[in-house]
Amino acid sequence: MPYAINRRQLFSGATALGAGVAAASRAAAQPVAFGRPQMTVTLNSSTIRPAPLLDKIRIAREAGYDGIELWIDELESAERDGPGVDELHEILHDHGLFVPNIIGLWNAMPAEEEAWAGALEESKRRMDLCVRVGAEHVAAIPQPDRPGIDILWAAEKYRELLDLGETMGITVAVEFIGFFQGVNRLGQAVAIAIESRHPSACVVADTFHCFRGGSMFEGLQHLQGSVLAVMHFNDVPGDIPQSEQGDEHRLLPGDGILPLVEIATTLSDIGFAGPLSLEIFSQALWEQDPLEVAKEGVRRIHRVLDDAGVGHSPGPDHHL
Dump pLDDT digits (tens) for 186-197: 999 999 999 999
Residue 29 has pLDDT above 80, yes or no: no
Angle between helices 113-132 and 151-168 (to 10 degrees): 40
Q: Residue 116: phi, psi to the nearest 5?
A: -65, -40
Task: Give dist(CA 91, CA 97) in Å, integer.
Answer: 9
Is residue 319 scored above 80 in pLDDT?
no
Output the CA torsion 208→210→213→214 (10° steps).
-120
pLDDT at 316: 67
pLDDT band at 112 (very low <50, low <70, confident <90, very high): confident
Asked whether 198 and 157 are in contact (CB, 8 A), the reply is no
- Phi-psi group of 205: left, alpha or beta (phi > 0 → left; psi -120 to 50 → alpha; rest → beta): beta
pLDDT score, position 26? 52
Query: Considering the entire predicted model, what is its pTM?
Result: 0.88
Q: What's 43-308's CATH class?
A: alpha beta
Over residues 211-234, mean pLDDT: 97
How many helices, marked H, and strands, marked E, lie in the chain?
11, 10
Stretch 91-115: mean pLDDT: 94
How are the residues of the chain apportioned to helix, strand and coil, as percentages rounded to the nearest 5? 50, 15, 35
The answer to whether residues 41 and 302 touch, using CB atoms and an 8 Å cutoff, is: yes
d(CA 218, CA 54): 38
Q: Where are the domains of the chain?
A: 43-308
pLDDT beyond 60 at 88: yes
